[in-house]
Structure 1
């Protein structure tokens, strides 16, 4: 976006435009990046990474990929997906302390993995459900996630909660799925980075490290693909990847060689001299005043390495924006000459990245007379399970509107089939229920879809409650950690756009509105004692083995005396072989006359025969062999 246009915008829109950093793409396709930094109260830092790539729609259909990732494009073409939105999230955004959510909540998802997409409906194609299964299975392999577990029981078809962001012509069907128990980790970040042209080697993506990203208090990754058509019918396909995180500044700057927090030596502690001390080894640490000193290289472990911008010509784009008070000192360190500027109100510092040098931003410790005012969120929302016992319970959601004007809100619940709501107990107090869309669940086939359109009055609190019943699962349907419980997806709240002004004067007139998501819930179901089936199986197997084994031996075995057992033919052959071997050895050494007369060979055979006669088992073959000799 050109800087002249940025100055022409209202003051309240500057931060929004800078944080989004969405440029108008050209027909030939381009790629741009943007990083937005904003210190938050309590010693936290918000870092928003934005990566945008475009390609002409004609090149996309002809398999001519330039900046658009080919691996993702072929998956979308195979499943005939027109628009895709994918989210990976962990942690919780603190509305009370950090204010409104970044990007108006449109680029964040519920805890775990969330996906929704518009699939084309056309004659000659496979069914939408088959192509949806193909899409989630392919994305599961691409992002190393468990998206393949999103089946019919975890899929819903919302009506009011989502609208198309792109310009599409034709008939499409919206499908939505979520996996709240998915653990987002480094194995999801690595394939995510491979979709970028520079793959984390240059540009702002060089700051992204798994140890830093997943050590954040709140973190979300998103992938959004949408077609955009201009007035002259030039259509492009845009992919926008964003990573938003809130870092604890003090914990992130902890050195990697000393990750465990240890008390520093007393000589390194600044003591509060206003207190009295009884000994020299006693010290009350002085409370730190003002803003914490930090830098990009200390928080992320490295500076920004060069830039990564392709295909953008004739436009003045800013790669980094730092939102701090006007009196806050900030040093932008770079070996090359870079462009820098400041917004009209002085609260946003903008700069570009050089191609051949690193860039670092350092802010010293400083006390400020005033701080940036946080924008209040448009709505506060919370949700919890009520009741006791493992058979029945309830759901209770609280929505609070702190503004002096009413709001229209869409409330979406996607419940698993084993949590059965009683819709006759649904009560909404403090708001007007205008519409309701409800799809009942089918055991082991489909979950519950509940969508409510509410009109919340100004400065009011809404209580939404209903009773639920907890189903009893088959013992094979329980996970290995059955006693932990089952995760319930977050409730999605969409605040519809209106012409009313928020506390900061921002006019919300776009079609999307503002999105909020509650935290996920942990549901305890009736769980059998899995140690008892184990004990029963072991005891039953032991009894069967003993009983069957004894009866089988009595039926098939024949018991005889030891004297009745004939000598084994194999033993006869072994004895004959031993006797023959000894005879050959004696023939080589000559006949040796023994004391009793005769040769050694005859004595050996006589001894064998005598032993067998005493046992009553003289082998005929040995006797015949002796006579033949």
Structure 2
């Protein structure tokens, strides 16, 4: 019996899909970490690897690109990467302030408040890097329904010392340029989560992504999403979508306990696994020095993690942790800092023209550390670099600050860029102060909510090495600490600056008064010109 034409077509299509799936690999993971203040940190990670793929070379932008056919990798995002020849891309949208002292380092380092976008793009070709950067942010703005188009040249910098590539760059960094921009007033909401879920192969219909309930996620103490693209040499192009949230199980229940389960904190359950996922894993970090019970029994378990492999269970489990000896959770009055350094930044001064930027950096360890310090400040706040001073316990220690580079701002053109290396002695607090000036703006340059003020982007810190390299090599404890913090970035909270603002109520008062007077005058003049006044005699009534 000869096969029909429809059977042949279906066989060819299934074969093509099978071949495409061999070149693409999708993995998903949910990482849960109980925190010391009773909260729960959740990180969703969805990674797609396009095996054997390489970033598009910018010199090929002048010719038509090959057709892009993907099975698992999101086509909408892949077309943007090919259109603008992007080698590495990182986009984050976060709401709230990450509390490093209480929650420690996040699973995803990009936790700065608002929107942050940075990309490495190759040089060469007929289209410049700045033109491609403009098209990239506009395309991502339309894809994720975010105001990324506002990341213009007035917010764009190239802090190469802080934002090193996380993947491989063809021909190294010499042939690539970095573009970085932040928008602290942008927040994440459901209109960003919806296109985020559409990029997943199973959407939110199955797999771990089915737990992404916006009603619970956006009620968290902190939440944010990220899109990360990097090139892995000898492997391919990896696209990773991530969502993080800090949930409060104590607030979600009425008995005051911190017990939690997937169905309780997300108000959803995993009904079925994602059929195209190569691996689907739920990993729970186990509490230390506490009595607890975890249910059901995990696939594997050690002293640190309990791992549930979805392919090894018949029904997706409703993972839960119970503190059996705890009746009511008592919030700890104090918590030791969970990070190697603690950073606090303030903007002092009541004047609307001048102020002072103050920064305190505390080294929580018994060894000397160094940290990279980055400030990308819009031209709305201008530094007086000669007033930069460092103090420890009231004594001047300007030798602990090594200014690497400083680019002054240009009004309406570019922001200020300050990159420095700070040396932090053991168990000490370094205080930096620097005078700033606030310029006067035209009334057309103020935002609609001018009385609220302007949001300033967070500062970024990167602990990376010790001052005494020989001592570090000889001390195993120092090597362990420095290897742990070398790749971490820390973001300070955003600042709110109050600029000199005109009284916007006066124009409205003038407009209302002027319109009233014009209406009265026009009415009287119009009546005099158009009306005809006559004397009307009324006859007396006969008796």
Deviation digits for residues 582-623 of structure 1 (CA, Å, limit 9, x no counterpart)? xxxxxxxxxxxxxxxxxxxxxxxxxxxxxxxxxxxxxxxxxx
Structure 2 residue matching 1:305: 3-state secondary structure = coil
Whether contact under 8 Å (1:422, 1:467) holds in the other structure is yes
Query: Shift in Å at residue 93 of structure 1?
Result: 2.5
Q: Go from structure 1 to structure 2 and tell me whether the alpha carbon gap of 1:65 and 1:401 turns closer, same or farther (over 3 Å shift).
A: same
Deviation digits for residues 58-117 of structure 1 (CA, Å, limit 9, x no counterpart)? 48864132221110111121122111001111222323333x2123xx532311111111
Deviation digits for residues 296-331 of structure 1 (CA, Å, limit 9, x no counterpart)? 11111122222226363xxx8744334234852111
Structure 2 Cα separation of the partners of residues 130 and 528 of structure 1? 36
Query: Shift in Å at residue 253 of structure 1?
Result: 4.4
Q: Determine the structure 1 residue equivalent to 2:60.
A: none
Query: Shift in Å at residue 364 of structure 1?
Result: 3.0
Whether contact under 8 Å (1:497, 1:514) holds in the other structure is no
Q: Go from structure 1 to structure 2 and tell me whether the alpha carbon gap of 1:550 and 1:330 turns closer, same or farther (over 3 Å shift).
A: same
Q: Determine the structure 1 residue equivalent to 2:509.
A: 535
1:458 has 2:432 as partner: no
Structure 2 Cα separation of the partners of residues 292 and 548 of structure 1? 72
Q: Go from structure 1 to structure 2 and tell me whether the alpha carbon gap of 1:175 and 1:462 turns closer, same or farther (over 3 Å shift).
A: same
Q: Determine the structure 1 residue equivalent to 2:236.
A: 236
Deviation digits for residues 138-175 of structure 1 (CA, Å, limit 9, x no counterpart)? 11111111111111111111131110111112411111
Q: Determine the structure 2 residue equivalent to 1:81.
A: 86
Matches of residues 339-378 of structure 1 in structure 2 within 5 Å? 340-343=299-302, 346-354=303-311, 357-367=315-325, 376-378=338-340
Query: Shift in Å at residue 541 of structure 1?
Result: 3.6
Q: Which moved more, 1:240-249 or 1:538-547?
A: 538-547
1:320 has 2:283 as partner: yes
Structure 2 Cα separation of the partners of residues 154 and 421 of structure 1? 16
Matches of residues 93-492 of structure 1 in structure 2 within 5 Å? 93-98=98-103, 100-103=104-107, 106-125=108-127, 127-170=128-171, 171-230=175-234, 235-253=235-253, 292-308=258-274, 310=276, 312=278, 318-325=281-288, 327-332=291-296, 340-343=299-302, 346-354=303-311, 357-367=315-325, 376-430=338-392, 432-492=400-460
Q: Which moved more, 1:42-51 or 1:351-360?
A: 351-360
Whether contact under 8 Å (2:217, 2:245) holds in the other structure is yes
Q: Determine the structure 1 residue equivalent to 2:464.
A: 496
Structure 1 Cα separation of the partners of residues 438 and 403 of structure 2? 27
Whether contact under 8 Å (2:291, 2:325) holds in the other structure is no
Whether contact under 8 Å (2:363, 2:429) holds in the other structure is yes
> Which runs of no fewer than 5 residues in structure 1 stay unpaired?
1-25, 255-268, 270-287, 334-338, 564-629
Structure 2 residue matching 1:92: 3-state secondary structure = coil
Whether contact under 8 Å (2:401, 2:420) holds in the other structure is yes
Structure 1 Cα separation of the partners of residues 460 and 483 of structure 2? 20
TM normalised by structure 2 equals: 0.81
Whether contact under 8 Å (1:55, 1:66) holds in the other structure is no
Whether contact under 8 Å (1:253, 1:299) holds in the other structure is no
Whether contact under 8 Å (1:59, 1:65) holds in the other structure is no
Query: Shift in Å at residue 42 of structure 1?
Result: 2.7
Deviation digits for residues 259-293 of structure 1 (CA, Å, limit 9, x no counterpart)? xxxxxxxxxx8xxxxxxxxxxxxxxxxxx7xx733
Whether contact under 8 Å (2:23, 2:50) holds in the other structure is yes
Query: Shift in Å at residue 503 of structure 1?
Result: 7.1
Computing the radius of gyration from Cα coordinates, the structure with the larger value is: 1
Deviation digits for residues 29-53 of structure 1 (CA, Å, limit 9, x no counterpart)? 2111111112222321111211111
Query: Shift in Å at residue 562 of structure 1?
Result: 9.6
Query: Shift in Å at residue 220 of structure 1?
Result: 2.4
Structure 1 residue matching 2:448: 3-state secondary structure = coil
Query: Shift in Å at residue 416 of structure 1?
Result: 1.5
Structure 2 Cα separation of the partners of residues 350 and 467 of structure 1? 51
> What do you get for the CA RMSD once the two structures are aligned?
3.0
Q: Go from structure 1 to structure 2 and tell me whether the alpha carbon gap of 1:317 and 1:479 turns closer, same or farther (over 3 Å shift).
A: closer
Query: Shift in Å at residue 506 of structure 1?
Result: 3.6
Structure 1 Cα separation of the partners of residues 481 and 281 of structure 2? 25
Structure 1 Cα separation of the partners of residues 109 and 271 of structure 2? 26
Q: Determine the structure 2 residue equivalent to 1:581.
A: none
Q: Go from structure 1 to structure 2 and tell me whether the alpha carbon gap of 1:434 and 1:30 turns closer, same or farther (over 3 Å shift).
A: same
Whether contact under 8 Å (1:306, 1:353) holds in the other structure is no
TM normalised by structure 1 equals: 0.70
Structure 1 Cα separation of the partners of residues 200 and 476 of structure 2? 36
Structure 1 Cα separation of the partners of residues 210 and 140 of structure 2? 24
Structure 2 Cα separation of the partners of residues 559 and 493 of structure 1? 81
Q: Determine the structure 1 residue equivalent to 2:39.
A: 44
Q: Go from structure 1 to structure 2 and tell me whether the alpha carbon gap of 1:118 and 1:453 turns closer, same or farther (over 3 Å shift).
A: same
Q: Go from structure 1 to structure 2 and tell me whether the alpha carbon gap of 1:527 and 1:538 turns closer, same or farther (over 3 Å shift).
A: same
Q: Which moved more, 1:86-95 or 1:378-387?
A: 86-95
Q: Determine the structure 1 residue equivalent to 2:18.
A: none
Structure 2 residue matching 1:463: 3-state secondary structure = strand
Whether contact under 8 Å (1:32, 1:309) holds in the other structure is no
Query: Shift in Å at residue 502 of structure 1?
Result: 9.2
Deviation digits for residues 394-415 of structure 1 (CA, Å, limit 9, x no counterpart)? 1111111111222221111111
Q: Go from structure 1 to structure 2 and tell me whether the alpha carbon gap of 1:311 and 1:191 turns closer, same or farther (over 3 Å shift).
A: closer
Q: Go from structure 1 to structure 2 and tell me whether the alpha carbon gap of 1:444 and 1:404 turns closer, same or farther (over 3 Å shift).
A: same
Q: Go from structure 1 to structure 2 and tell me whether the alpha carbon gap of 1:502 and 1:33 turns closer, same or farther (over 3 Å shift).
A: farther
Query: Shift in Å at residue 222 of structure 1?
Result: 1.3
Whether contact under 8 Å (1:391, 1:469) holds in the other structure is yes
Whether contact under 8 Å (2:284, 2:306) holds in the other structure is yes
Structure 2 residue matching 1:483: 3-state secondary structure = helix
